[in-house]
Structure 1
Amino acid sequence: MKVSAKMTLIAVAVGLSISPSVLSQEQQVAKSDLGFERIIVTGTSRPKEKIESTNAITTFNEAKLEQLAPHSVAELVRSIPGFHAEDTGGETGNNVAPRGFPLSTQTEFTALLRDGMTVFYNQDILFTQNDRFTRLSNFVGSVEAIRGGASSIFVGSAPAGFINFISREGSDDTQGDVFFETNSNNRLGGQGWVSGSIDDQTTYAVGAWYRKDDSARDPGYTANQGGELNGNIKHFFKDGSGFTRFEFNKQNDRSFFFIPQPLIGSTTNAKTIPGGMDIRDGTTGNSAGARLLTLNNAPSGDIDLDIADGNYANVTYFGNTTEIEINENLVFSNQMRYTDMLTTFTGIINVGNAESLASKAQAIYAANTDVLAGAMVDGNLSYDIRDAGNGFVLADSSNVNTYNTNGYGINAGFWHRRFEGDNFQNETRFNYTFDDVGEGTLYANFGLFFSNINGHVTDYRINTLQSVEPLPQRLDVVFTDAQGLDIASGTYKGIQAGSHGFADIVYSENTLAPFADFEYDLEDVSFNLGLRYETLKADGEAQNQANYTIDSFASDTDTVNGNITLPFGDGTYRNFDVEYNEMAWTIAANYKFNDDLAVFTRYADGFRMPDVDKYMAITNLTSQEEINQFNNSERRETQPASTVMAEVGIKYNEGDVAAFVTGYFAAADDLFFNVPTVENGQVVQRQAFRNTETLGVEAEFNLQITQDWRIGVSATYQSPEFVNTPAAQYLDANGSSASIDINGNLPVRVPKHFGQLTSSYQFEDFSWGMAAIHGSYSWSGKRYADDANTAELPMYGMLNLGLSLENEDGYYLRADVKNLNNSEGLSEGDPRAGETVAGQATTFNARVVLPRTFSLTIGKRF
C-alpha cells in the first residue's frame, strides 16, 4: 500500500510539496509586506500595529500558515529568525535553541502560549516539553512570536521569547474548513473547524483533528495516533463594556519520537551500517522487535512498558477570559486556566555506540569468569545470541560476527518517564490610560499572575542490549558448555549490567508574580518600561533509591543475570522546601518615521526558574550540610539561570520590498547541565556549568517580484561562544579524567547561520478555479556535537514544494512533498554518548532529518 500511495502522490504532485491551499480572495489582496499594519496583541499592554511595536516579532496570518503547512511546532519555528529548530524528533518533542543559547532540555528559554497563556506553566519538564500539549492545527487562525523583548515581563521563565497560538473565534457569519489527508506513510487523518453566532451577543468556534500513520521511519507498528478537540464560546455584554470567553481543549494522542540512530563513518561522512537501519528511512531503535518490557513484582511495583506509547499526552484544559471596560480610561481583565495532564515518554535511547556482539560477550565473561568457566571450550568462548522475547537462537559464537551482516549490538536504554499533574493559572490585569501626560499618552498595565502546580514524576531507565538491523530487537547473550547446554545468561530479558536509573518525586509549585508594563506614546515615538518580580515556592518529597538484584524479585534467573542490579525506590523519602525570588526588567523605545519605516531598541534582563528535574538532585546529596544547603536554596545546580539581551531593529516597507532586521546581543550565565559521558559502557553524569555570549543579526524579507510571485527570507547569522566557563571535564580514550578549555567554542548544536527561503506563485484563474505553487528551502549551518568542537555536524538543507487547487465553491486539493531532495543532514549528534569530547569512533549515533514524504489533502472551506 505504501508504494502505491507514493506513486499516486508523485503523479498528482509532479514532484511538488509543502504547499498552501489556494488563497482566499481576501488573502490574495493582502499587502506583500511583513504585516506591519497588523494589530498585534502579544507582548504589549495594548493592541497596536506591528510597526509601532518595541519587540522583535514575527507574525503568521492564515494565508502564511496555509502556505507553510507545518506538521509540527518546530517546523513552524524554522520560519522564525533567531530561533533554531531541530525538527527531527517527529511531530512532538523537538528542540528550539533561541539566539545562541545551548539547551539542556528541549525548549528551555522559550514558551508556547495558547490564546495568551501557557497550557501548563512549567512547560519544559524533561520529556514533557510544551510542544507535546500545545499543538498546531487549522483551528489556530494566527501566530505571533516574540523574540527576546518583553518576553520576561509577560511570561515567566521565558527570557528568550514566546510563541502565541491564537485560536479562531466566531463571528456573525457561519464559516469553516474541513479536510482529509493521506501521505506516503499510510496516514489517514482529517481536520476541521466551524464558527458562527449563537445570538446577537454570543459567538462560538469548535475544531478538531485526528490522524494515524506509520511515521516517516516505520517502526513496524502504528506510530502516530490520536487527536484533539478545541472549542470556545464568547459572549459580549449588551452595554458594550466587554466580553467573557469560555474555552475547552481535550487532547489524547501518542506520537513517535525519533532518537539518534547508530551510523558508521563520521559525523562529516555519515553512512548506513551494513545490515543496519538505513540512514534515510530506517528506524531509530524504537521498533516492534523491542517493543515490550515487563518486570513483575519489582520493588517499585509491576513494570509493563510499551514503546508504541511513544510521546503520549492525555490533556484536558478549560478556562475563562473576561474583559470589562470600567470607564473610558480603565480596563479590567482576568484570564484563568485549569489543566489536567498525563504525559508519558517511552522509548529506546542509545547510551553507547554500536559494538561487536563478540566483544560484548567477552566483557560479560570477563566479569563472571568463575561462573562461566565451562563456556571456554577449546580456548574459544561458547555462547548464543537469542531473541530476548521468545528465546529463539539468532546466532552463536561461530557466526556472530556476520549476524545482520555487521555483528553489532548496542546499549539501548529503555527509558520511561511518567508525568501526572494539574495546574491552575490566573492572571489579573488593570490597564489604565493617562491622557495628556506631557504631550503624549501613558498606558499603565498592572498585573498579578498566580500558578499552582501539583505533579508526580516517575522515571525508569533500564539498560538493554539491542541488535543493529532495520527493525532492531532486544537480545540475550546465553553462555553454553561443550555439549551446547546452557550455563547461564549474561542478560535478563535483554537487560544487561550497566547504567540504569530511577526517580520518583511528588511536588507542588506555587508561583506569584506581580508585574507592571508602561507604554508612553508621543506622536511618532513610544517608550516601554516593564518589570516582573517572581516568587517560586516548591516543596515535596523525592524517594531515595537502592540497588536490587534481579533475583530478589524474579524467579526465572540464573547465577549471572540474577546478580544484575537495578535501581528502585527504597521506600524512604527526602523532603525539600525551596524558594526563589527573581526580578526581570526591560526598557525599550520605538521611533516611527512614517507608516513604512520605524526603528526600535530594547534592553532586557531575564531569568529561568528551576523545575522538577532540579529538585530530584536532593537524593544525590551525601551529607546533612548539603541537604540543608539545598533546602536553603543555596545549591548552585538549582539556582535560576540569568539572561541579558540587547537589540536594535529596523522595520521597512516600501513598494514591493518589506524588511525587518534586528541586531542582538544575548548572554546567559550559570546554565546547568548534567553532561553524560560513557565510561566502560556506562553513562556517568557530570555536573557542568556554562556561560555563553552571542552577537547576531536576524532578518525577515518579503519581495513582490510580480503581482503573483512572492519571495520571502527568514535568516540568522550569529557568533555564539562559551565565555568565562571553567575547563570542561571529560573521559579520554583511556577512560581517565581529563579537562579541556572550551571558551570561544560554539555551544553544542548551535549553528552560526540558519534560515528559510520561501517562494509562492499564484496562477491566473482558469475554468476550474485557482491554482498556486509554493516552495521553501530551510538550512542549518555547521554545528558541533560536542563542547570541544571535535565532532562537526555539517551544514544541511531541505527543499519542500507544493501545488494547490481551489474552485469558487471552496473545494480544494493540495499535493505536497517534504524534503524533496531527501537530505541526510544530521540535526544532532548523540547527547548521551560524550558531550564534552565526542571524538570520531568507527561507529556513532546521530539523529537524521526525516526522509522524503508525499502527502495529499482534499478539503472544503465555507
Structure 2
Amino acid sequence: MRKYLLLLAVAPIALATPAAAQQASAQDEPAAEKGQDKAPAKEVFSTGVAKGRDILDSAISTSSLKSDEIEKFGANSLGEVLRNIPGVRAEYQGGEGNASYSIRGLPLAASGSKFLQLQEDGLPVLEFGDIQLMSSDLFMRVDSNLAQVEAIRGGSASTFASNSPGGVINLISKTGEEEGGSVAASTGLGYDTYRLDFDYGGRISDTLRYQVGGFYRQGEGPRDLGYTAYKGGQFKFNVTKELGEGFIRIYGKYLDDRTPSYQPVPVKVTGTNDKPKFENVANFDLGRDSLVSRNINGIPSLDENNNLKIYNARDGMHSIVKSIGLEAKFDVAGWTISEKFRFADISGSVFENLPLAVAPAIGLAMVNGGPGATLNYANGPRAGQAINPMTLNGNGLLMQSLFINADLKNLDNVTNDLRASRVWDIGGGKLTTTVGFYKSNQSFDSFWTFTTALQDVNGNGNSALVNVNTAAGVPVTQDGILSYSTVGGASYHRRYDVAYDINAPYASVNFHIGKIAIGGSIRYDMGQVDGTLTGAELGGGRVGIKSFDINGDGIISTAESQTAFLPITQPGLVDYDYHYLSYSTGVNFRVSEPLAVFARYSRGGRAAADRILFTPAINYNSGALLDPKDGYDSVRQTEVGVKYRGGSLALNLTGFLANTGERNLQVNSKPDGSVQVEHIIRDYRAYGAEFEGSVRRGPFSLTAGATYTHGEITDDATNPAVIGNTPRHQANFIFEATPQFVTGMFTVGTNFVGTTSSFAQDTNQLKLPGYTVVNAFVQFRPTEKLQLMLNANNLFDTLGVAEVTQASIPASGLVLARSITGRTISGSLRFSF
C-alpha cells in the first residue's frame, strides 16, 4: 500500500508549478456558491463531467443542495439529506451508516450503494459503495463545513468515475472564499443528544486562504437505548493557494465517531398481503425502540487468531478516518491540468444485533430446550430470575438473535485522478478534448465473528439476554448464548485480506457550436484483485467448529462446544483481474436562452468487489474467476430530457430507460420465515420519468422533485419464479417538496418526503404501504449574527415501514421489520462571526 502512496504522490508535486491557470474547481466557481436564495441563474456543474459548464449547455441530469437548505431538513443522517435528491432512493432506517442507496430504478438487492458512487470533494470515499457491513456513508458526515451536495444521475458519471454507472453524489467542502464562520449548538427536545458545530474560513494573504470546521456530539440519540450511543466527531481543514486564476489546495479530515446500528425488530401484522396493517407489539415501539440495549454489552468470541476476545456491543458503528489530499488546476501549453489525490487511512468496527426469528417464548424455549424447558434472565437487573413465558413483557415473545461483529482492520483508500483538457476553436465552434488517467487502490482487511443468543422483546433500552434450561435443569445456553457461532455451523466467521488495484484511462470530446453541443466519452477500467480469505465455508477439509472453554471454568458447555474457529493455516487464494469498457454519448440543443433539450445513451460497469468472495465464483486454490463475467456488472441507460430556467422558475423533466445485470448477495427469508442469505444472478429493466423544479414569488419559494419508475426482473439464473416481478422495495412513485416563506427576520417551512407502496421481497406478495413524512422548520434571526432554529422530523409521527424480512404474512402474524424513526424535535442556536 505504501508504495502506491509514494507513486501517486509524485504527480501532484510535479504539477505544483506557478503556471497560468484555468478556472477554479467547483468549490471556487462563484456560480456554484452564490445566489442560493436568488432566482435561477447560470450555474456551473462540475461533478461527473469533463469540465464545468452551464447545465443548460450539457446533456446531463443534475441536482444540487446548498448548505443553508440542508440545515433546514433537520436530518439525523446523510440518508435523510440525500432522499431530497430527485431519483434517489435512500433507505436510511439503520442509522448513520450502512444505509442503502439507488437511483432511477437500478436494483437495490442488498445494502450500500452499488451503482451510485458517494464522493467527497471529487474523489470516492470508498472505491466500492456496497462492501458488506461497511458502505461509504459509514465514513461520511454532514456538518457546517459542507458547502453543497452535487448529484449527477446517469449520463457521463459512468465515464468520469469508476464503478458509478448510476450516478455520482459529491459532498463539496467550503474553501474559505467568504471571510468568517459560525458556532452552532443543538440539542434534542425530548430526547438525549447534544452537538456542537463550527466552521471558519478566510484569507491569510491576497493569494492564500483557509477553511476549518467540524463537529462533536454525544447522547442516546432519537431512539430509546438506555446508554450514550452517539459519541464522537469530525474535523476538516483545507488551505488554498491561488495561482492567477488557478489554485493548489491541500486538505485533510479526521473522523472518529460512534453511532448505533438499528436492525429489524418484531412487529405484529394483520390484514392481507395486499393491504397489511402493521402494529407495535406490547412494550415495544417500532418507531422509538431498538433491540440495542443497556443490558447487552460485552460479547465473548474468538478473534482472528482464535484467541478469546470480548467485543463491545455499545461501540455500534465505529468509524475512524484519517485522510490527506491535494487538488490543483492550472494551464500548461494551452492545456488545463486537473489533479486530485487523496490517501485515506480507514478503520473501525461494526456491531449489529440481527434478529433471526421471533416467536412466543414458550415455543422457542421448547425448540431449544425440549418439552418442559424453563427460562430465566441471563443479565440485566433481573439476572437469575425465573421467567413466565406466557406473561413475559406483556407480549410473551422471545427472539433468537445473531450478534455480528466486523473488525474493520484496514479499508485504506488511495486515489489519484489526473486529467488534461483543451478547448479548440474549430469552424466557428468550440471543441473541448479531455484525456485522463485514474488510479486507485482499495484495501479490504476485515474479520467477522458471529454469536447466536436469546433475548426478550422489551423497549426503552431494557431488552436482556435469556437462558434456557431443560426440564431436568441442564443449561442449554451460557449467559444467554446459544452458540459462539451461527446456528448449525461456522458460517460467516471469516477473515478477508484483499486489495483491489484499479487503473482507468479515459477521454472525451465535446463540440459546441451555436445552440448545439455534441459529445462523447469513453473509459476502460482494468482491475487486479489479490489476497487471501480464511473461513470454513471455503471447504477443502477446513474445520470451522471446535470446543473452547470461553468462561475458563474447565467445563465445556453446550454453547462452548459450538465455537467458531478460523482455519488459519488453510487460507483460500484470491487472484484475478477484470476489465470493462464504459462509454457515453449525448447531444444538447439550446432551443432558446431559458430552454434546452437533450438525449444521451450510456454504458457503464461496476466491479463485483467483495460480494463474490466466499461464493462459487472463485477457484480458491488458484484464486481465479471460474467465469470472467462474474468480475463486473453492466448498466445500459438511455435518457431524454428538457430543461427550463427563466425568471423565478426552473423546471427539469427527464425520461429514462435502464437495463442492468447483477450478481449479489441478498438477505431475505425462507418460506418458514427464518432469515437466509441468497445468491442472486439477475437482469433488470427500469423505465420512468423524473421531475425537478423550483419557483420563487417574493418571500415564498418551492422546490420539488418526483420520480415515476416501473421496474422489472427480466431474468434470474437461480430463481426463475421471480421473472416478471417488481424488485423488492421499488415504489412506482417517490417525491419530495420543500415550500418555505422567508423574510429578513424569520424562515418557516416544511419538507415533504413520500413514497407509494412497494413489495417487501422479490416474490411480490407482502406489500409495504406508502407513506409521507412531514418535516417542519422555523428559523428566527433577531440580529444579523444570531439565529435560533426549531426542527421537527416526522412531525406527525408517521409509521413508515421501509423493510420487512418476510415475503408474506406468516401464520404467527409476526414479522421482522424496520421503520423510519418517530417524531423528533430539536433546537439549535447559531452565532455567526
User: What's the TM-score, normalizing by structure 2?
Assistant: 0.89
The one-letter amino acid of 2:432's match is Y
The one-letter amino acid of 2:43's match is R
| CA drift at 1:771 | 0.8
1:631 to 624, 630, 643: 624
Structure 1 CA distance, aligned partners of 2:344 and 2:250? 14
**Alignment match, 2:817:** 846
Q: 2:60 matched to 1:60?
A: no
**Alignment match, 1:12:** none
| CA drift at 1:565 | 4.5
Where 1:64 maps in the other structure, the secondary structure is: helix
Q: 2:519 matched to 1:528?
A: yes
**Alignment match, 1:737:** none
| CA drift at 1:347 | 1.6
The one-letter amino acid of 1:434's match is W
**Alignment match, 2:156:** 150
Structure 2 CA distance, aligned partners of 1:711 and 1:602? 29
Whether contact under 8 Å (1:488, 1:561) holds in the other structure is: no
Where 2:615 maps in the other structure, the secondary structure is: helix
Q: 1:298 to 1:807 in 2, by over 3 A?
A: closer
1:659 to 651, 660, 668: 651
Where 2:345 maps in the other structure, the secondary structure is: strand
**Alignment match, 2:476:** 489
**Alignment match, 1:543:** 534
**Alignment match, 1:708:** 699
The Cα offsets for residues 286-320 of structure 1, whole Å up to 9 and x where unpaired, read as: 11122221236896222211221111101011011
**Alignment match, 2:278:** 270
**Alignment match, 1:112:** 118
The Cα offsets for residues 453-481 of structure 1, whole Å up to 9 and x where unpaired, read as: 23311111222111111121111102353
**Alignment match, 1:799:** 774
| CA drift at 1:544 | 3.1
Whether contact under 8 Å (2:680, 2:716) holds in the other structure is: no
Structure 1 CA distance, aligned partners of 2:374 and 2:114? 47
Q: 2:288 matched to 1:281?
A: yes
Structure 1 CA distance, aligned partners of 2:671 and 2:804? 18
Q: 2:460 matched to 1:452?
A: no
| CA drift at 1:392 | 2.7
The Cα offsets for residues 100-158 of structure 1, whole Å up to 9 and x where unpaired, read as: 12222221111111111113323331121111112211211112100111111111111
Q: 2:360 matched to 1:385?
A: no
Whether contact under 8 Å (1:148, 1:645) holds in the other structure is: yes
In the alignment of these two chains, the number of paired residues is 781
**Alignment match, 2:222:** 216
Whether contact under 8 Å (1:388, 1:494) holds in the other structure is: no
**Alignment match, 1:331:** 336
Whether contact under 8 Å (2:73, 2:791) holds in the other structure is: no
Q: 1:687 to 1:439 in 2, by over 3 A?
A: same
Q: Which moved more, 1:646-655 or 1:220-229?
A: 646-655
| CA drift at 1:725 | 2.6
Whether contact under 8 Å (1:801, 1:820) holds in the other structure is: yes
Whether contact under 8 Å (1:298, 1:553) holds in the other structure is: no
**Alignment match, 2:742:** 762
| CA drift at 1:93 | 2.2
Structure 1 CA distance, aligned partners of 2:36 and 2:549? 73
Structure 1 CA distance, aligned partners of 2:288 and 2:308? 35
Structure 1 segment 299-448 matched on structure 2, within 5 A: 300-327=306-333, 329-352=334-357, 354-366=358-370, 381-388=372-379, 392-396=383-387, 399-419=388-408, 420-436=410-426, 438-448=427-437
Structure 2 CA distance, aligned partners of 1:670 and 1:129? 18
Q: 1:281 to 1:553 in 2, by over 3 A?
A: closer
Q: 1:130 to 1:686 in 2, by over 3 A?
A: closer
Cα RMSD of the aligned pairs, angstroms, is 2.4
Structure 2 CA distance, aligned partners of 1:72 and 1:49? 31
Whether contact under 8 Å (2:61, 2:154) holds in the other structure is: yes
| CA drift at 1:627 | 4.0
Structure 1 segment 813-832 matched on structure 2, within 5 A: 813-830=788-805
| CA drift at 1:675 | 4.9
Where 2:228 maps in the other structure, the secondary structure is: coil
2:721 to 729, 737, 741: 741
Structure 2 CA distance, aligned partners of 1:197 and 1:616? 53
Where 2:367 maps in the other structure, the secondary structure is: helix
% same residue: 22
**Alignment match, 2:231:** 225
2:250 to 236, 239, 246: 246
**Alignment match, 2:7:** none
Structure 1 CA distance, aligned partners of 2:479 and 2:783? 64
The Cα offsets for residues 23-76 of structure 1, whole Å up to 9 and x where unpaired, read as: xxx97884333xx51122212222211222211000123443343343322112
The one-letter amino acid of 1:824's match is L
| CA drift at 1:722 | 0.8
Q: 2:816 matched to 1:810?
A: no
Structure 2 CA distance, aligned partners of 1:774 and 1:527? 41
The one-letter amino acid of 1:783's match is S
Structure 1 segment 622-701 matched on structure 2, within 5 A: 626-627=619-620, 631-632=624-625, 634=627, 638-678=630-670, 683-701=675-693
User: What's the TM-score, normalizing by structure 1?
Assistant: 0.86
Structure 2 CA distance, aligned partners of 1:783 and 1:434? 50
Whether contact under 8 Å (1:817, 1:854) holds in the other structure is: yes
**Alignment match, 2:604:** 606
Q: 1:144 to 1:681 in 2, by over 3 A?
A: closer
Structure 1 CA distance, aligned partners of 2:207 and 2:318? 39
**Alignment match, 1:736:** none
Structure 2 CA distance, aligned partners of 1:427 and 1:298? 35
The Cα offsets for residues 248-290 of structure 1, whole Å up to 9 and x where unpaired, read as: 1000001122111111124721111123x2123122x111122
Where 2:142 maps in the other structure, the secondary structure is: coil
**Alignment match, 2:29:** none
In structure 2, stretches of 5+ residues that fail to align are: 1-32, 537-542
**Alignment match, 2:15:** none
The one-letter amino acid of 1:664's match is F
Structure 2 CA distance, aligned partners of 1:452 and 1:701? 39
Whether contact under 8 Å (2:773, 2:798) holds in the other structure is: yes
Q: 1:656 to 1:840 in 2, by over 3 A?
A: farther
Q: 1:668 to 1:452 in 2, by over 3 A?
A: same
Q: 2:202 matched to 1:167?
A: no
**Alignment match, 2:212:** 206
